[in-house]
Amino acid sequence: MLKKAILLPAFIISALGVKAQSAYLQLGSEGYHNIDRWETLTGRFCDSLSNGNKPEARRNVVHFIESLTEKTDSGAILALPATALSGKLSNIDYFNMRQMVSESGEWASDENGAIDSKTSLLNTFYKKQYNLGYVKTNNFFVVVNPVLSGTVVMQNNTPANDPVTGAAIPGMTTANSQGGEIRGWIGKKIGFYTMITDNQEKYPYHVNNWVQRKYEAIPGADYFKRPQTQFGSYDYLQVNGYVNADIVKNHLNATFGFGKHFFGDGFTSLFLTDNSSNMPFMRLQARIWKLNYECLYLELTPQYVKGADKIMPHKYATMRYLNVNATKWLNVGLFESQVFARTGGYEISYLNPVILTTAMSRYNGAGDKSILGLSAKALIAHRFQLYGQFLLNEFRIKELTGGNKWYGNKWGVQMGGKYFNAFGLKNLDLQGEIDAVRPYTYSAQDTIANYTNYNQPLADPLGSGFVKVIGQIRYQPAKNFTITARATYYMRGNDTGNANFGSNIFKAYPTATTQYGVAMINGPESNCKIMSLNLSYQVRRNMFVDLGGVYRNYQNVDNTYPHSSTTGTSNGALTTTYVYFGVRINAARRAYDFF
């Protein structure tokens, strides 16, 4: 078990004694966009911040903002005259900075950055503007907040009836979550965070197909209760929590918990995304000089067929990611991972925290899934950011240059760019990205060591064998109002019947239909167009009202749609159009415009 595997590093932590610590900024938070924006506008990378390794510590976020700004006597935040931000920020940026510092006010320079409420509730609750409960002494700090959300979706589908069962597709779906979160520290040495929500969700039609027929999994979640009917409500718990501490203050941090991670700067990542469920993890982070290094030990759940409740088996992963600020404007990184299964628990050789030990998988003589990756990010003209990833699983130079399209040439590439204050309009930000992954790239020699967790891909939700283009416009015209428009187009191969054309990463790659002539889009080609628009208004900090719509058109050129391997219909295109209205408090917006 992973818990046993981390006893050694846990012992080392206790033996050395722990220092200061920090909770993390929640994944999905708008704060990550703002950090990215401000760092790009400065024209240089912050050595104590690494926005490509998420989640990021609240402490680092606050210190980064304070390094760029000064607080006036009235509490307002302004850019330091000597910084490159002078003249580039709007009043909206200053507002966002003040809000982010207040939200993590315990890490402000005076340890009291949280904004006081003008009126508290019963002189006990919401004494601070953003926190239901807030307690801080010299040796103890805790914040308690509700986590709530509710969404109503009105949808229209063509065809209007499910082609497999003939059931009429409902015109309305609903989703709701309710729970709470707690974060804090003890003695300024041990940090902790816990969030739990109870969720009931009915999905738009294409998502309902994804859950029922393709992966038999809830996007981003783990165990769930099946509904009684085809379009019924799914019920599941979502739990996230961890404890952490600095082994060497501000330089080496250790975290043990249950949650998600993201490596990269794009909409998605070829290395690791937060699309699959939460997982047990041990995280070691080192930030020294211009180096940022992270080592993740993960306990994963291999693919399964949902049936009666049972104890789930486990597999494991070790991931290492090293990136360095080579210059003030250029960051380069190196990534590696191994996914493996052992009946006796965690493979001790993979506990090695040193990167470039992929050779261990050869030493072990097992069919472990080993992946190498390169990343790069550049800041240009205090306005642009270029980023990319290259993933390599397996290749042979002879086959790579031979032009025979060997199925074992497994690689993926991501190229993207961001344009902040586009065309001179402040708070107008653009982003574009291209992702391409060869067939079989995330598959393994068996059906266990593939790059998945709880019936979901660990990287891009499309799996392998696809090319995808994404563009986004984000505009914040007022302090509490944000408009986001996104367009996605992808092409992907489909497996048909028992044939393995390489898009389904749950199938073992030795069962490939052919070893040569394997194109990027292999098998019957499908294409999908998605357009979405979201309007978010922040009533008060972390309390949002969302209004938006999504158009999705999915078609396979061969009209071949086995319901077990795709979200399409039995023939013709599947078109889904829906509008939604939602309210959320301390929760990221639940979106389905990525597949």
Q: What is the DSSP string of 544-594?
A: EEEEEEEEEEEEETT----TTT-SS-SSS-EEEEEEEEEEEES------TT
Kindly tell me if the per-residue pLDDT of 234 is higher than 60.
yes
CB 136 within 8 A of CB 106: yes
Rounded Cα gap, residues 280 and 300, in angstroms: 8
Rounded Cα gap, residues 106 and 134, in angstroms: 11
Kindly tell me if the per-residue pLDDT of 8 is higher than 80.
no
Domain boundaries, the chain: 2-585
Segment 468-480, tens digit of pLDDT: 999 999 999 999 9
Cα-Cα-Cα-Cα torsion 302, 303, 304, 306, nearest 10 degrees, comes to 110
Highest mean pLDDT among 342-346, 375-379, 538-542 belongs to 375-379
Q: Name which of 140-149, 395-404, 406-415, 425-434 the model is least confident about.
A: 395-404
Let me know how many helices (H) and strands (E) the chain has, helices first: 8, 25
| Closest to 108 in 3D by CA, of 147, 133, 141 | 141
The confidence score (pLDDT) of residue 393 equals 85
Segment 501-523, tens digit of pLDDT: 999 999 998 898 888 989 999 98
Q: Name which of 120-124, 166-170, 357-361, 467-471 the model is least confident about.
A: 357-361
Q: 247 Cβ partners below 8 Å, 6+ apart?
A: 12, 13, 16, 18, 19, 253, 254
Instruction: Name the one residue in this structure whose structure tokens are 């940022």.
Output: 292
CB 58 within 8 A of CB 107: yes
Top pLDDT among 215 and 41 is at: 41
CB 491 within 8 A of CB 521: yes
Q: Tell me, what DSSP letter sits at residue 349?
A: G
| Closest to 286 in 3D by CA, of 243, 255, 264 | 255
The confidence score (pLDDT) of residue 359 equals 54
Kindly tell me if the per-residue pLDDT of 482 is higher than 90.
yes
The confidence score (pLDDT) of residue 568 equals 44
Q: 84 Cβ partners below 8 Å, 6+ apart?
A: 41, 42, 43, 44, 382
Mean predicted confidence (pLDDT) in 576-586 = 96
Segment 145-155, tens digit of pLDDT: 999 999 999 99
The secondary structure of the chain in percent helix, strand, coil, rounded to multiples of 5, reads 15, 40, 45
Kindly tell me if the per-residue pLDDT of 163 is higher than 50.
yes
Segment 112-127, tens digit of pLDDT: 888 888 887 777 788 8
Top pLDDT among 486 and 407 is at: 486
Burial of 359 (0-12, 13-18, 19+ CB in 10 A): exposed
Q: 125 Cβ partners below 8 Å, 6+ apart?
A: 132, 133
Highest mean pLDDT among 76-80, 123-127, 582-586, 588-592 belongs to 582-586
The model's confidence at residue 487, banded by pLDDT at 50, 70 and 90, is: very high
Highest mean pLDDT among 162-171, 207-216, 464-473 belongs to 464-473
Are β-strands 252-259 and 369-380 bridged in parallel, bridged antiparallel, or unpaired?
unpaired
Tokens of 50: 């690494």
- Percent pLDDT > 90 in the chain is 57
Phi, psi (deg, nearest 5) at residue 509: -70, -20
The confidence score (pLDDT) of residue 332 equals 97
pTM for this model (two decimals) = 0.92
The model's confidence at residue 566, banded by pLDDT at 50, 70 and 90, is: very low
Mean predicted confidence (pLDDT) in 89-97 = 91
The model's confidence at residue 571, banded by pLDDT at 50, 70 and 90, is: low
Mean predicted confidence (pLDDT) in 207-230 = 86
Count how many Cα atoms sit within 13 Å of the Cα of residue 208 in the half-sphere of its side chain.
24
Kindly tell me if the per-residue pLDDT of 404 is higher than 50.
yes
The confidence score (pLDDT) of residue 348 equals 82
The confidence score (pLDDT) of residue 251 equals 87
Cα-Cα-Cα-Cα torsion 196, 177, 97, 37, nearest 10 degrees, comes to 100
Kindly tell me if the per-residue pLDDT of 567 is higher than 50.
no
Locate the DSSP E strands across 230-328.
Answer: 234-248, 252-259, 262-263, 279-288, 291-300, 315-325
Mean predicted confidence (pLDDT) in 392-400 = 71
The confidence score (pLDDT) of residue 15 equals 43
Q: Name the CATH topology of 2-585.
A: Porin (2.40.160)
- Percent pLDDT > 70 in the chain is 88
Q: Name which of 226-235, 450-459, 491-500 the model is least confident about.
A: 491-500
Rounded Cα gap, residues 509 and 417, in angstroms: 33
Kindly tell me if the per-residue pLDDT of 97 is higher than 60.
yes
Kindly tell me if the per-residue pLDDT of 307 is higher than 80.
no
Kindly tell me if the per-residue pLDDT of 394 is higher than 90.
no
Phi, psi (deg, nearest 5) at residue 240: -145, 135
Kindly tell me if the per-residue pLDDT of 398 is higher than 80.
no
Segment 23-73, tens digit of pLDDT: 899 998 999 999 999 999 999 999 888 888 999 999 999 999 988 887 776
> Is residue 275 helix, strand or coil?
coil
Highest mean pLDDT among 300-314, 402-416, 427-441, 494-508 belongs to 427-441
Mean pLDDT of the chain: 87
The model's confidence at residue 84, banded by pLDDT at 50, 70 and 90, is: low
Segment 541-553, tens digit of pLDDT: 889 999 999 999 9
Rounded Cα gap, residues 77 and 55, in angstroms: 25
> Is residue 505 helix, strand or coil?
coil
CB 240 within 8 A of CB 27: no
Instruction: Centre a 10 Å sphere on the Cβ of residue 569 and count the other Cβ atoms it contains.
Output: 25
Rounded Cα gap, residues 431 and 548, in angstroms: 19
The confidence score (pLDDT) of residue 564 equals 35
The model's confidence at residue 11, banded by pLDDT at 50, 70 and 90, is: very low
The confidence score (pLDDT) of residue 14 equals 47
Rounded Cα gap, residues 90 and 198, in angstroms: 39
Q: 367 Cβ partners below 8 Å, 6+ apart?
A: 444, 445, 446, 449
Tokens of 195: 């969030």
Size of the chain, expressed as the number of residues it contains: 595
The confidence score (pLDDT) of residue 306 equals 80
The confidence score (pLDDT) of residue 395 equals 64
Top pLDDT among 401 and 182 is at: 182
Rounded Cα gap, residues 548 and 536, in angstroms: 9
Mean predicted confidence (pLDDT) in 166-180 = 94
Q: Name which of 50-64, 214-228, 345-359, 553-567 the model is least confident about.
A: 553-567
Top pLDDT among 404 and 432 is at: 432
Kindly tell me if the per-residue pLDDT of 89 is higher than 80.
yes
The confidence score (pLDDT) of residue 537 equals 97
